[in-house]
Amino acid sequence: MKRNPIISNRSKKILLRSIIGFAFPLICFLLGSCNKTVLKSTYVRSPYTVDGDLHDWDGTPFTIFDENKVALAAANDSLFFYFAGRCTDPVKIQSIARQGITLWIDPSCRQQTDLELHYPASQYASVNQSRGGFWDALTDNQRERAMKELKELQNGILIVDKQGIDTRIFKRDSTDSFSAALNISKGMLSFEIRIPLNLTKYFSHFESLTQREKIALGVGRSKNLNEWSPDSGPYDTRSSAGSMGTGPRGFLPIRESQSKDSDLWVEVALAKP
């Protein structure tokens, strides 16, 4: 009669750890993700007004992230995705008020930073009036018009497309594309961002969000120009209303941010009508 082999307690522990080590990642993969917060977007019938006051969001639930000291909410209609947040941390409010806010948009839910939104675009749309002789060649009227357009760009939204090696600036009050707003009142910072669901219309390397059930968003503060990679080449910065170049025309070159750090990553389940 055969006897069952004797397995020591130490061997049992090693075997158990091996099984857990194999099974846990597999379970996480089958469930979709581990330790990820999923926001449920609210479907809205009327477009939200992007002004930073968040009065349109009264009936939309916010999720509080205690560790990050921020509350976030999401909504969408058939054309746009809306993302809003409130922050009461004085340090973060001061940092965002000084340097702006960054949002990473990832339709694949893999926390990729290939599509990067900066608002406001002021620090990335500055003028070097001594460069290239462009500004010296302008008349007073031409310089006044150029500075007016530049001010609109500085108050706009900068989108960095790292796949297409491209950057674009959209006017903040655009009615048919990207839009954003910040508001600080009574010790609270509120921000509101609108993203077209059809990303492919603006950036061909990214699929439309209408084809996705979930998307991932990373939220962080904008980086100083000194924090951007010095070995990235300059890009053309084009507004949605026209084009204003970089480099020889007197604008500082836009360089790709290599930072993949963000204050917070969340997944958002898009709502259906």
Report if residue 88 sits inside a domain: yes
Report if residue 18 sits inside a domain: no
Q: Give the model confidence (pLDDT) of 159-211 as tens digits.
A: 999 999 988 989 887 788 999 999 999 999 999 999 999 999 999 999 999 98
- 3-state DSSP assignment of residue 204: coil
Tokens for 178, please give them: 């990207």
Please tell me the predicted confidence (pLDDT) of residue 130.
54
Q: Give the model confidence (pLDDT) of 84-141 as tens digits.
A: 999 999 999 998 888 899 999 999 999 999 999 999 987 555 555 555 566 677 777 7
Please tell me the predicted confidence (pLDDT) of residue 97.
87
Tokens for 27, please give them: 């379970």
Q: Structure pTM? A: 0.70
Report if residue 32 sits inside a domain: no
Q: Domain tally for the chain?
A: 1
CB 117 within 8 A of CB 193: yes
Q: Give the model confidence (pLDDT) of 5-44 as tens digits.
A: 444 555 544 444 443 343 333 333 333 333 467 899 999 9
How far, in Å, CA of 22 to CA of 204, rounded?
38
Report if residue 15 sits inside a domain: no
Report if residue 2 sits inside a domain: no
| DSSP code at position 6 | P
Report if residue 160 sits inside a domain: yes
- Please give the distance of CA 167 from its chain centroid, rounded to a whole number: 14
CB 105 within 8 A of CB 219: no
Report if residue 200 sits inside a domain: yes
Report if residue 54 sits inside a domain: yes
Host domain of residue 211: 38-269
pLDDT over 80 at 76, yes or no: yes
Element (H, E) at 26: helix 9-31
